[in-house]
Amino acid sequence: MQNRWYMNDILFLTCCIVFLLSTGRCQAMKEGDVFITGGPYGVDMPEGFCPAAWRAIFSFACEYASGGKVYGFDRHLVACPDGVRPVLLQLEPAQEE
Return the pLDDT at 2: 45
Neighbours of 3 (CB within 10 A): 18
- C-alpha distance from residue 86 to each of 41, 42, 51, 67 (Å): 29, 26, 14, 28
Handedness of CA 18, 24, 30, 32 (dihedral sign): positive
Confidence check: pLDDT of 97 > 50: yes
pTM: 0.79
Binning pLDDT at 50, 70 and 90, where does residue 60 land?
very high
Q: How many domains does the chain have?
A: 1
Domain that holds residue 88: 4-93
pLDDT attached to residue 43:
85
Mean pLDDT of 47-53: 89
